[in-house]
């Protein structure tokens, strides 16, 4: 569903110029950006939890450290 929304958004952005956006459309774009950020954060948290459950962590100075690759985030 997210991918389909992004494809529709890409088509809309290609069809419109930057001066043609209404306030509603700008608010919708900002909401979509917020949803994407939340989804990416949730994915990173899930990945970190999986690494912890698998035992892929280190304890450094009494703190847990997890090595995440940028592509994992």
Task: Identify which has the larger pLDDT, 18 or 36.
Answer: 36
- C-alpha–C-alpha distance, residues 17 and 53, integer Å: 48
pTM above 0.85, yes or no: no
**Boundaries of domain holding 21:** 2-72
Q: Which of 6-15, 34-43, 48-57 shows the lowest mean pLDDT across its residues?
A: 48-57
Q: What is the pLDDT of residue 72?
A: 59
**Angle at CA of residue 39, ends 36 and 18, nearest 5°:** 0
- C-alpha–C-alpha distance, residues 31 and 33, integer Å: 5
**Number of domain units in the chain:** 1
Do 10 and 47 touch, CB atoms closer than 8 A? Answer: no
46-73: average pLDDT:
73
Q: What is the pLDDT of residue 46?
A: 85
């Amino acid at each position: 569903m997210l991918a389909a929304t992004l494809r529709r958004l890409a088509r809309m952005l290609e069809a419109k110029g930057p001066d043609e956006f209404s306030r509603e459309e700008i608010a919708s774009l900002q909401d979509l950006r917020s949803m994407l950020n939340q989804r990416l954060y949730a994915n990173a948290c899930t990945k970190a939890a999986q690494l912890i459950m698998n035992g892929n962590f280190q304890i450094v100075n009494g703190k847990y450290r997890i090595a995440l690759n940028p592509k994992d985030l």
